[in-house]
Amino acid sequence: MTEIYQTSDAEGTINFINMFDLEHMAQEVIPKGGFGYISSGAGDVFTYRENERAFEHQLIIPHVLKDVELPSTEKLFEGEKLRSPIIMAPVAAHGLANTKGEEASAKGVAEYGTIYTISSYASRTMEQIRQAAGPSANQWFQFYMSKDDGINLTILEQAKANGAKAIVLTADATVGGNRETDRRNGFTFPLAMPIVESYQTGVGQTMNAVYGSSKQKLSPKDVEFIVEHSSLPVYVKGVQSEEDVERALSAGANGIWVSNHGGRQLDGGPAAFDSLQYVSKAVDGRVPIVFDSGVRRGQHVFKALASGADLVAIGRPAIYGLALGGSVGIRQVFEFFQTELEMVMQLAGVQTIEEIQGIKLRENRYI
Amino acid sequence: MTEIYQTSDAEGTINFINMFDLEHMAQEVIPKGGFGYISSGAGDVFTYRENERAFEHQLIIPHVLKDVELPSTEKLFEGEKLRSPIIMAPVAAHGLANTKGEEASAKGVAEYGTIYTISSYASRTMEQIRQAAGPSANQWFQFYMSKDDGINLTILEQAKANGAKAIVLTADATVGGNRETDRRNGFTFPLAMPIVESYQTGVGQTMNAVYGSSKQKLSPKDVEFIVEHSSLPVYVKGVQSEEDVERALSAGANGIWVSNHGGRQLDGGPAAFDSLQYVSKAVDGRVPIVFDSGVRRGQHVFKALASGADLVAIGRPAIYGLALGGSVGIRQVFEFFQTELEMVMQLAGVQTIEEIQGIKLRENRYI
Amino acid sequence: MTEIYQTSDAEGTINFINMFDLEHMAQEVIPKGGFGYISSGAGDVFTYRENERAFEHQLIIPHVLKDVELPSTEKLFEGEKLRSPIIMAPVAAHGLANTKGEEASAKGVAEYGTIYTISSYASRTMEQIRQAAGPSANQWFQFYMSKDDGINLTILEQAKANGAKAIVLTADATVGGNRETDRRNGFTFPLAMPIVESYQTGVGQTMNAVYGSSKQKLSPKDVEFIVEHSSLPVYVKGVQSEEDVERALSAGANGIWVSNHGGRQLDGGPAAFDSLQYVSKAVDGRVPIVFDSGVRRGQHVFKALASGADLVAIGRPAIYGLALGGSVGIRQVFEFFQTELEMVMQLAGVQTIEEIQGIKLRENRYI
Amino acid sequence: MTEIYQTSDAEGTINFINMFDLEHMAQEVIPKGGFGYISSGAGDVFTYRENERAFEHQLIIPHVLKDVELPSTEKLFEGEKLRSPIIMAPVAAHGLANTKGEEASAKGVAEYGTIYTISSYASRTMEQIRQAAGPSANQWFQFYMSKDDGINLTILEQAKANGAKAIVLTADATVGGNRETDRRNGFTFPLAMPIVESYQTGVGQTMNAVYGSSKQKLSPKDVEFIVEHSSLPVYVKGVQSEEDVERALSAGANGIWVSNHGGRQLDGGPAAFDSLQYVSKAVDGRVPIVFDSGVRRGQHVFKALASGADLVAIGRPAIYGLALGGSVGIRQVFEFFQTELEMVMQLAGVQTIEEIQGIKLRENRYI
């Protein structure tokens, strides 16, 4: 038996200083099981913690006398103008954080003016998410494949019909990570997953069961399949090594998404930001790189861009904004990152996002 | 005068999330002196702590699109199929943890389906341990030599008669380590040691007295002696350097067991996992390598295998399982490691144990 | 509405052991908002903390039998004799710490016998500061430029008229850093800034508004402008890289001031002391180097001098001395650093400041 | 006015597990000012703490099958047999710890069977110390020189007359270190210093005054002076660099004593054990090396010997033993170190002290 899951329905302006405040505040309004699911990492949280600490491995040198004023975070990406290179990562089940779910988050992100990645495990249909965000919203679709390719074709068709501009194949979650917090909380999914309802039984499942229902045996052929049938750019998400870059690109991927799933999957692996250094060298400008995992500050966005990322995605912070302020709250979170990024740009002496990508960080020799 | 030692007699399923839980739970059911003896490390516990921390020195890179599904932990070792490369380390006196002692632990490990190493300091006879586990159980015998070679011959004969498939010569405990917890607890051995009763006076001794009764002056000749008289494969346990590999192999050892005795012997030495890197290079595939010390997670098993180990032994965690659930509890512990290992294999993109041994870990530059 | 700001008006001898004591004592006498503004660092205070920790990256080797006795801290700088190479950094609004403001601090520093740098954001006029210190005081002027060059000329004229011997162009604060403590305290400036009143509206502003009123778009042309119109030596403050050294020197700067603004500006950047190693190599003796950020001990002064600094500036500690003891208190702080420096010199076996600059520190390999 | 200083007068066996216990127990029986003086380090105690932590920088590899049994700690040094290479460091004013002062400590050390170094600042005369220890005791004399060479000659004559076998010139304490604990405690010396009473006024002085009364301006000439006038081997104490080795040896020193005065003098310098690596390379076997600072375990003694030391001196631990058990207590402390050293030798596979000096430690790459 599943108890009724009662979460926040907030909508409006939040007062906060930083993302650490926001996390603590969100814990007050999201039920324990949902908050545990959203906030926690895998195993001993070594990799989870390293994700954030790793930004200390590379240092931004402040530069002076660089003739900079009111730097701009605007980013031209694949022919479209984004307000900043900060985009929305795919996150399952926004309904855990706010009853308005993805309708509020998609609206807030569209109002901010950046890319929104729809999760396969969203609490709303793609149509609802598209409608809430408006026809001009820049939306991508993150894909957890079914074991049944007929279902996969149907889902890809839906994504195209709803105007998705790219498909993100999450490849690092073919089983659930060791989410001990969920097991301690006895957490099962309280909400339906309408996008994948044809292969997920939905409400009342553990995370292991959820991941077990989707396809484990991912291979380069799956990339080829999506490329062929979607005619959309395909990003492979969860890449952390040179070897995986080559495997993904050989299969036709149009972009690489560096991530360790926010430290929620394999504990004992590297920080995503450390892996970015390896991956960006291997990609060497051939395709765009998206980065996520551990981003909590404008300086983190700056460091990821200076390390080869073209776009930087945020997950948990955006969900906390959604929990505390609905569409307004999530927009504030993006504005928070933009404001900090602008400050960092001014102090680092760069006027544009493109310039950041030419910056050389100083390796921290004392960690 | 020795007080009566009253420990757990539990048998049945345990609820636990991880090995840290298990340790805390075991502390509740094992008497203070026994728990201190089992759980503690030597001196300032520097080496003890390093054992576990050292796994952070090498990182597993998650790999995607590797066409992996339901990876298998099966291991073919010396012609026998093991359910996994995770085996039972020799641990003295299981009776400290559970009144059923080695009869329960040998049964549980046999039911799980892996190698069980009988300790010279077991609380049961070899016959009892063999009988509890059944005739097909895969058992090795760990040897603390007597100063008297006649006694040694008798013990080796018993081991052969009871079907031991290998002899493990523990060479790193020619004196007891600096076990301050035992001294603070005033701990003396409350139980008999029937296997070595011909040279150990048994009940009421301190650890120093126990070690003092066995042979200190181990040399390559002892390896030769055991090889000659047992006609069984001989593993030298406690090897941490290239030099010791050569000394052991020159004397005819058939396997190398990398260990620092769980941080219980020499404090101020390296983590066993760090030493494994040196040893596996020196062994270079000539003989099998067994590894123990500090293993608490499936990722640790994976990292040891990827660093050259053929088998990975666990000690304290198995004993905690024994304390809390008898034969069922110890089997659950092996299943815990297997389940975590399977998850790590899926996320690291390897289908078989053999593939792990070809994996390259990424050295952590930031420790 | 701004509440009345009531701070210390102390004048007299302070009892203290070290600068950490002094900070705690100062917190008792300075209002919360003012103390937060003075003491805090930016963002996650990573860089703030690194500033002090970085001194552990280089070690002083004690030297024996060096024939040293009563070493002298006297420093001949640009033809003038200073009691020591320890000088007063520019710090805004001394009136936050003591009602007597810069009149007391300038008097105390003059009595001690070293350089005093007047902040553009001082709570007193340049005339008042000069008068309090006396005609022979060695004063420099730190410049936050206006967006209006007419105003800039007027301010430079005032500085010259008041006998400033150098102009320090602070180039690392073209926007305010992320001062979260100020935001948590709702801190706005309670005091007027008479030196820059022609472009700053003054009382009741946030730090962001203060920095916003001054010139953001600093470039080498501004250095040229000041050099041309002041005919005084110009120091560029906030330099942390080889690249900035060249930019400043090419524009005609006569000195380089290594600083990260006490960790108050860009968080996620290097410790200033670590940057000093890079900068002093790049400067290579062409111009003098001033160093600040994180100096709390005589050994820090020694290490900075041995790393290429010619002068070492202190900020917060001096202000705490001012808060607790007025002109006497701030002088005591300089004497504290001198006393510790003398002890370090004796133990390191150097008789003069010049000798320190030839010393080689030992890099700490174990951090 | 000086209050009466009432300290321990204990004599007899102490129960303890390790030196950390002993320190805590000693704190109970020594007055606060005296205990602060004995136990504390300089400044931020960075160097003090590093002294002990530095032993983790080099690791002992346990070695097996080395044919070792009952290893011997005996050391033949300059023609005399010592029970072990562990000797007594010079420590001022044993009377602070035990009313019996150096009479008890010299007796205990002689009974143990190793070298005892008499401090210039002893609470007893050389005659008393000699008499308490007996005619065959192996005693060295540590020299704080007077500014007056006549006095120096007299003291050297006394040392010779009392059978000192070497002179130790402490060269790293030409001023007092920054002993903040003493200043917080308002500590002044409560006891007379009979050996140097001709140049020290004694009771009621601060440490700064004590050091100020002795000679600051030490130079190679002072080594030459002592060599010439004592005709005894001269050790220069406080050496931490190659440069100082050469300066001392050129002046005729017969031995090098690596020490940073237990972290009591210059804070911000290296751990003594780290410096030992540099010094032993520079000495290259030309003269004996004595090591102290931070030794709290048998493994520390082993590591120092393996890093080039010929003798290892202990200070604070011995004084705590003296406080708690008089001559018996201090002997127990030496026995504690010997017992631990024997265990380490057995586990590291070395039979003699000479073999330790040929051992290669493994550098810890993960600190």
- Picking from C267, C279, C367 by the largest number of A CB atoms within 10 A of its own CB, the best residue to mutate is C267
- Does D296 belong to an annotated binding site? yes
**Per-residue confidence (pLDDT) for residue B1, from 0 to 100:** 41
Chain A residues with beta carbon closer than 8 angstroms to that of C217: 67-69
Predicted pLDDT at A1: 41
The structure tokens listed for D279 are: 């010094």
CB-CB neighbors (< 8 A) of D219 in chain C: 65-67
Contact D56 B238 (CB under 8 A): no
Q: Is D24 flagged in the annotation as binding?
A: no
Rounded to an integer, what distance in angstroms lies between the CA atom of residue A196 and that of residue A198?
5
Mean pLDDT over all residues of chain A?
97
What lies within 8 Å, CB to CB, of D111 at 6+ separation is: D327, D331
Residue with tokens 């495990």: A121
Residue D1 has pLDDT above 50, yes or no: no
**Contact yes or no, C with A (3+ CB pairs under 8 Å):** yes
- What are the tens digits of pLDDT across the range D160-183? 999 999 999 999 999 999 999 999
As annotated, the binding site of B for glyoxylate includes 37, 144, 179, 261, 264
Given the residues C94, C229, C261, C300, the one annotated as active site: C261
Q: Which chains touch C (3 or more CB pairs under 8 A)?
A: A, D
The model's confidence at residue D3, banded by pLDDT at 50, 70 and 90, is: low
Distance of CA D142 to the CA centre of its chain: 10
Q: Which of A23, A61, A297, A300 has the most C C-beta neighbours within 10 Å, making it the best mutation to test the interface with C?
A: A61
Give the best residue of C174, C179, C184 to mutate against chain A (max A CB count within 10 A).
C174
Exposure string over D82-120, b if 16+ CB within 10 A, otherwise e: bbbbbbbbbbbbbbbbbbbbbbbbbbbbbbbbbbbbbbb
DSSP output for D141-189: EEE--BS-HHHHHHHHHHHHHTT-S-EEEE-S-SS----HHHHHHT---
Residue A203 has pLDDT above 90, yes or no: no
Whether C193 and C93 have beta carbons less than 8 Å apart is answered as yes
Chains D and B touch (3+ CB pairs under 8 A): yes
D235 is in an annotated binding site: no
Q: What is the ipTM metric for this complex?
A: 0.97
pLDDT tens digits for range D80-133: 999 999 999 999 999 999 999 999 999 999 999 999 999 999 999 999 999 999
**Choosing from B94, B229, B261, B300, which is the catalytic residue?**
B261
pLDDT tens profile D182-232: 999 999 999 999 999 999 877 888 888 888 889 999 999 999 999 999 999
Cα A314 to Cα A87, A153, A297: the distances in Å are 6, 28, 10
Q: How many helices (H) and strands (E) does chain A have?
A: 14, 12
Asked if B52 and B296 touch (Cβ cutoff 8 Å), the reply is yes
Q: Is A316 annotated as a binding residue?
A: yes
A171, A183, A269 member nearest B17 (Cβ): A183
| Fold of the domain built from segment(s) C19-363 | TIM Barrel (3.20.20)
Closest-CA distance, D150 to chain C, in angstroms, reads 19
A64 is in an annotated binding site: no
Residue D2 scores a pLDDT above 80: no
Residue by residue, pLDDT tens for chain B (367 residues) are 456 899 999 999 999 999 999 999 999 999 999 999 999 999 999 999 999 999 999 999 999 999 999 999 999 999 999 999 999 999 999 999 999 999 999 999 999 999 999 999 999 999 999 999 999 999 999 999 999 999 999 999 999 999 999 999 999 999 999 999 999 999 999 999 999 999 988 788 888 888 888 999 999 999 999 999 999 999 999 999 999 999 999 999 999 999 999 999 999 999 999 999 999 999 999 999 999 999 999 999 999 999 999 999 999 999 999 999 999 999 999 999 999 999 999 999 999 999 999 999 999 988 8
Is-contact A154 A224, C-beta < 8 A?
no
By the 8 A CB rule, do D343 and B175 touch?
yes
Does the annotation place A237 within a ligand binding site? yes
Average pLDDT for A100-119:
98
pLDDT at A202 over 80: no
- Give the closest-approach CA distance of D305 to chain B in angstroms: 14
Domain spans, chain C:
19-363
CA C132 → CA C84, C124, C142, C356, D357, distances in Å? 21, 11, 18, 33, 66
**CA dihedral sign of residues D262, D265, D267, D271:** negative
Residues of C in contact with D241 (CB under 8 A): 61, 63, 362
Question: What pLDDT is stored for residue C52 in this prediction?
Answer: 97
pLDDT-based confidence at residue A264 (cuts at 50, 70, 90): very high
d(CA A56, CA A54): 5
If we measure between CA atoms, which residue out of A147, A143, A140, A149 comes closest to residue A169?
Answer: A143
Q: Sign (positive/negative) of CA torsion D121, D124, D126, D131?
A: negative
3+ Cβ–Cβ pairs closer than 8 Å linking A and D: no
| Facing residue for B17 by CB, picked from A54, A184, A267 | A184
pTM of this structure: 0.97
Section A12-31 average pLDDT = 98
Provide CB contacts within 8 A for B331, sequence distance 6+. B108, B109, B111, B112, B321
Q: Pull the structure tokens for residue B283.
A: 């062994």
Q: Is B261 a catalytic residue?
A: yes
Partner residue facing B220 (CB), from D65, D346, D366: D65
